[in-house]
Amino acid sequence: MLLSILIPVYNERTVAERSLSLILAAPLPENMERELVIVDDCSTDGTSAILERLARDEPRIRLFRHAVNQGKGAAVRTAIQKAQGDFCLVQDADLEYDPSEYGKLMKPLLDGRADAVFGSRYLVSEQTRVLPYWHSMMNKGLTMLSNMFSNLNLTDMETCYKVFRTDLLKSIPIRSDRFGFEPEITMKCSKRKLRVYEVPISYHGRTYEEGKKIGWKDGVKALGVILYFWLVDDLYEANYGRGLLHSLTGTPQYISWLTRVLRPHLGDRVLEIGAGLGNLTARLMARKLHYVAGEGEPLYLHALRNRFLRTPNVTVCELHPDNPADYARWAGEFDSALCVNILETAKDPALVLRSIGSCLQPGGSLLVLVPQGQGLYGSLDQAMGHLRRFSKEELSGALQQAGFQVARMYQLNKIGALSWGIFGKLLGRKQISKPALKLFDKTVWFWRRIDGLLPWRGLSLVVVAKKT
């Protein structure tokens, strides 16, 4: 295993060499190597020459430099893009945090209990330097506000020490250039439902005379960052996995609406195809004897395994929808199956339906959700990798050829069809604006109640079919 230690550096010539020597010598868990991904944020005090000399002599150091000063968040963003390890740990170069505590920070991740670990300066620790009262109060106040809006119960949101699995961290967009990185990543951890752990760490803070850079203005900006990312759901890198799909359909109230439609048709033994990050799985698996979440993309497969690690009735398996061999182990095992937003991206939808059918018992139910109406096909579908949109007749025919009889059809999200047509056909957009998505999610309670009254077809088509 490889740990990528992400080190943003700006004007630290007095401590940089000593700090990096401690980071290179710090003990790591067994069988773990390290790389130091250092981003020099256009230092002007001679730090650059020191870093270049150290990088020449030490192969574990990978050095990158910004042409202009952009801030800590921008430096961390660059380091994340360059990281090659299994895990990423953020480490300042100022000697305030102790690298000897890496093992403590890594343990919840290595145990499979956490997706992210924060090192807290305010939990019980062996040693912490006493710092000015108002600086500590600012940190604690920002943590309290962050907790209120993120619904996390952290003791130290502003801590430098944050550790993640690299695949998860790379999937989260980082927009803040300065110290807003801390509240931004915290809010996104909450909205992504990551399992966050805190561990106590020692802290040897500097005074402003000793070189500390963060100030009260950054505290005010952090409050703005908290409010902004509470309002805006900017949670997935659009070009990473099925990020755009989750941004468009991962709104919690919409998911609740969808589960209301699907849940009555599921039995006790369920197979879900393309489970993604488990948004539907988490809502539907309750009171099921056995729920199998199948996923083919490594990022989501790992996220699923972490999320349901200690859920005894949920099994996570690698399953590529287009590969019949992946279904063989589940032949005849289930009384119901779920196929949501899969057929429109499949090269051979009939093959996928036949493969799912092989896993169902006679009379078993298959629930399918697909985008409806080829006339709505446009730039949004292309950006999401859709190869097609379906009509009722096309989907019914494909199901019958695969050995299913259609029992029920639902039109879903008719108001969404209007937005899709405007953004995808009329305006040619490749994504729907985040404020529009937020507004939709906050008004789902209304649209759900009048959906059946609207006279046009829904954005999605939901079909319940029985295996004959």
Rounded to an integer, what distance in angstroms lies between the CA atom of residue 294 and that of residue 282?
Answer: 13
CA-to-CA distance for 274 and 20, rounded, in angstroms? Answer: 43
Token output for 157: 């949101």
Would you say the CATH fold of 243-467 matches that of 2-231? no
Query: 177 with 73: CB under 8 angstroms?
Result: yes
84-98, 225-239, 241-255, 381-395: the lowest-pLDDT one: 241-255
Domain 2-231: assigned CATH number: 3.90.550.10
Cβ atoms within 10 Å, residue 129: 12
- Mean pLDDT to the nearest integer, 4-18: 91
Judged against a pLDDT cut of 90, whether residue 121 lies above it is answered with no
Q: Quick one: pLDDT at residue 210?
A: 45
Q: What are phi and psi of 233, to 5 degrees?
A: -95, 75
Is pLDDT at 219 greater than 70 in this prediction?
Answer: no
Structure tokens at 414: 């008719």
State pTM to two decimals: 0.71
- Give 115's DSSP letter: S
| φ, ψ for residue 44, nearest 5 deg | -125, 5
The CATH number that domain 243-467 falls under is: 3.40.50.150
Q: Which tokens in the block code for residue 64?
A: 């990158």
Q: Name the least confident of 236-250, 278-292, 320-334.
A: 236-250
More confident residue, 309 or 394: 394
CA distance 303 to 316: 10
- SS3 sequence, 320-370? CCCCHHHHHHHCCCEEEEEEECCHHHCCCHHHHHHHHHHCEEEEEEEEEEE
| Cβ count near 16 (within 10 Å) | 25
As a whole number of angstroms, the distance between CA 454 and CA 436 comes to 20
Can you say whether residue 243 is alpha, beta or left, with left for phi > 0 and alpha for psi between -120 and 50 degrees? alpha
How far apart CA 60 and CA 32 sit, in angstroms, is 13
Length of the chain: 468
pLDDT bracket for residue 324 (50, 70, 90): very high
Rg of the chain taking only CA atoms, in angstroms: 25
pLDDT band for position 236 (50/70/90)? Answer: confident
Decide: helix, strand or coil at residue 454: coil
Q: Which of 98-107, 248-257, 274-283, 453-462 has the lowest mean pLDDT?
A: 248-257
pLDDT for position 20: 94
pLDDT at position 336 is: 97
Residue 153 is encoded by which pair of tokens?
Answer: 């119960």
Question: Which whole-number Å values give the CA distances from 163 to 21, 51, 108, 255, 289, in the listed order?
Answer: 20, 24, 10, 29, 35
The domains of the chain are located at: 2-231, 243-467
Per-residue confidence band for 402, with pLDDT thresholds at 50, 70 and 90: very high
For 20-36, the pLDDT digits (tens) are 999 999 999 999 999 99
**Which pair of tokens denotes residue 300?**
């989501």
CA distance 219 to 260: 42
Q: Distance between CA atoms of 346 and 343, rounded to whole angstroms?
A: 5
**Of the candidate ranges 145-149, 291-295, 301-305, 373-377, the one whose mean pLDDT is the lowest:** 301-305
pLDDT band at residue 134, thresholds of 50, 70 and 90?
low
Average pLDDT over residues 120-125: 78
pLDDT score recorded for residue 198: 94
Confidence tier at 82 by pLDDT (50, 70, 90): very high
**Angle value at C-alpha 202, between 93 and 181, nearest 5 degrees:** 50
pLDDT recorded at residue 380:
87
**34, β-bridge pairs:** 3
| Beta bridge pairs of residue 118 | 162, 198
Taking only the tens place, the pLDDT of each residue in 158-203 is: 888 999 988 889 888 999 888 789 999 999 998 887 889 999 998 8
Least confident residue range of 295-304, 360-369, 402-411? 295-304
* Residue of higher predicted confidence among 440 and 237: 440
- In this structure, the dihedral spanned by the alpha carbons of residues 340, 343, 346 and 352, taken in order and rounded to 10 degrees, is 90
SS3 category, 194: coil
- Say whether pLDDT at 290 is over 60: yes
